[in-house]
Amino acid sequence: MPERLLNIPVADLKTYSPLALAFIGDGVYGLLVREKLVCAGNCPNRRLHALSVEQVRCEAQAAAADRLESLLTEEELDQLRRGRNAHPGHVPKNADPAVYHRATGLETLFGYLYLKGEIDRIRTLFAAAGE
């Protein structure tokens, strides 16, 4: 059984839309960032929020995707590409569309790995993304 918070069975992950995977991947990535910040030391909530926003905004996620690309397997690269090539209904007005799409690719990858139950791989990639 895969290792996840809720071990609800999932269908074939290749049938999931990249945006559905990005939806959960956004939450996974955000939780990892928050855990890292809180475990680094106690500080005011406002400061935690500001630090979190710096790391989860699309520019930071796109840069993380760029750092990870050479470390990914073919299967992982496929997921990154699927997310990057997906067409969300909107791009935030202050975001560069190319950057936003790369960030969506990262979220898709993290969502895919999470639903697959590959928590150790997520930890490895998250650590490498922050370097």
Which residues form the catalytic set?
26
Q: Read off the pTM.
A: 0.93
Do the Cβ atoms of 58 and 103 come closer than 8 Å? yes
Neighbouring CB atoms inside 10 A of 103's CB total 26
108, 82 contact by CB (below 8 A): yes
Q: How far apart are the first and last CA of the chain?
A: 31
Tokens found for residue 4: 């996840």
3-state SS string over the chain?
A: CCCCCCCCCCCCHHHCCHHHHHHHHHHHHHHHHHHHHHHCCCCCHHHHHHHHHHHHCHHHHHHHHHHHHHHCCHHHHHHHHHHHHCCCCCCCCCCCHHHHHHHHHHHHHHHHHHHHCCHHHHHHHHHHHCC
What pLDDT tens digit does each residue of the chain (131 aa) get?
A: 568 888 888 888 989 999 999 999 999 999 999 999 999 988 999 999 999 999 999 999 999 999 999 999 999 999 999 999 998 778 888 888 899 999 999 999 999 999 999 999 999 999 999 86
Contacts of 44 (CB under 8 A, 6+ apart): none
